[in-house]
Amino acid sequence: MEKIKMNTIVEMDGDEMTRILWKMIKDELLAPYIELNTEYYDLGLKHRDETDDRVSVEAAEAIKKYRVGVKCATITPNAQRVEEYNLKQMWKSPNGTIRAILDGTVFRAPILVNGISPVVKNWKKPITIARHAYGDVYKATEMRVPEGKAELVFTDRDGKETRETVYDYECPGVLQGMFNKDSSIKSFAHSCFKYALSTKQDLWFSAKDTISKKYDQTFKLIFQDIFEKEYKEDFEKNGITYFYTLIDDAVARVIRSEGGYIWACKNYDGDVMSDMVSTAFGSLAMMTSVLVSPDGNYEYEAAHGTVTRHYYRYLKGETTSTNPIATVFAWTGALKKRGELDGNEKLTAFAEKLEKACIDTVESGLMTKDLVGLWEGEAKAVALSSEEFIKAIKAQLEKAL
Ligand code: NAP
Ligand code: MG
């Protein structure tokens, strides 16, 4: 078979066990079939340190240029990592750096397999969570206060003050000030509408505007306004809808739904709900993640981390059974997007076949250890090492090519 040709995507290598899987996936499942055309950035912690983390910035700039990237999981350094890798400093998370440069929103979606049922039995299709990863409680200013009066004071550029009493404390208590910006909320809305169109799924957005009449109301109005002006027609053409509801109503509807939509959440709601939804769907190892910028750049990755515990076992020479599926789907996500943007049907078709090969392999009973405990399918579950599992996917893929 002649190898499939493609335009450039940005490839970001990473750390630990996922770095090992990254190479296996490329060698076994991609390079034999595609003339892999990637611009390579090594975001492994050692190389980030050597480049004073410039490599993370360069990778983000490259995604802006080529519009599509695929990223391996990376270590976010903490004090222990600074020591372990003898780092010059505690570098920031590359995901944070890339997100700040692309100004994007992260969408997390589960990969569904027959035989592993969501805890919520009526969920039949994926539920994708979009989290507004800016501001709110994550950037809030807080105080513990004694008795006394707390006020919210805003000073405009001309020095004019607006004051509101927050609370007159008759005993000690706590106080918090949080903010958000129209520009960030607008970017969030654009990313959500774009991703809904890109995946042809309905978009839900939830907040608590009945209680938060300025803060949450602003989110609601910005979404509504952008939808009416820029996306309504395209949504109608694609047969999808945009729908706003209160967060508590959304929670009730989500649980009763069959899935198949994108649920956009404010920062804190998204943090909590994405963990709930991913746990209820089964496994973090089966969760994909894509960063979508408001101007339509896409960066794909697995939602899980570098699986450190498995890596330490691997270093001791033990074979591990780390699940590569979310990392494979990061690659297929990027390849499908490249194919879609360029009208490269062969590339898109290949990526779809590779995704199906992963799912068919698990459905035939061959899987990594993490899935065995969740398995309820007919076939007898066989736990394979990462390497054996990737070989099994390859055999399945070759049947389909
Ligand atoms: P993790 O790498 O997601 O792993 C947590 C545990 O989940 C593992 O020990 C394993 O459980 C299970 N697991 C996750 N992915 C799996 C897979 N593909 N196959 C099988 N089991 C899987 O989270 P972490 O241990 O908290 O973090 C490790 C490193 O990853 C940290 O340095 C963190 O900074 C980084 N991280 C990076 C990203 C990213 O780049 N996007 C995201 C999160 C964390 P068992 O050990 O019980 O088998
Ligand atoms: Mg969380």
Question: Residue 138's pLDDT is what?
Answer: 82
Name the residue of 85, 275, 300, 307 whose CB sits within 8 Å of the most ligand 1 atoms, as the mutation to test its pocket: 307
Question: Residue 363's pLDDT is what?
Answer: 97
Among the bound ligands, name the one nearest to the CA of residue 303. Answer: 1
Q: Specify the ligand 1 atom closest to the Cα of 308.
A: 28
pLDDT per residue over 83-97, tens digit each? 999 999 999 999 989
Distance 388 CA to ligand 1 centre (A): 21
Q: Specify the ligand 1 atom closest to the Cα of 76.
A: 34
Specify the residue with its C-alpha closest to ligand 1, atom 38. Answer: 305
> Are the CB atoms for 263 and 269 separated by under 8 Å?
no
Residue ranges of the chain whose pLDDT lies below 50: none
Distance 229 CA to ligand 2 centre (A): 33
Q: What is the dihedral of CA 195, 289, 94, 51, to 10 degrees?
A: -100
pLDDT per residue over 359-394, tens digit each? 999 999 999 999 999 999 999 999 999 999 999 999
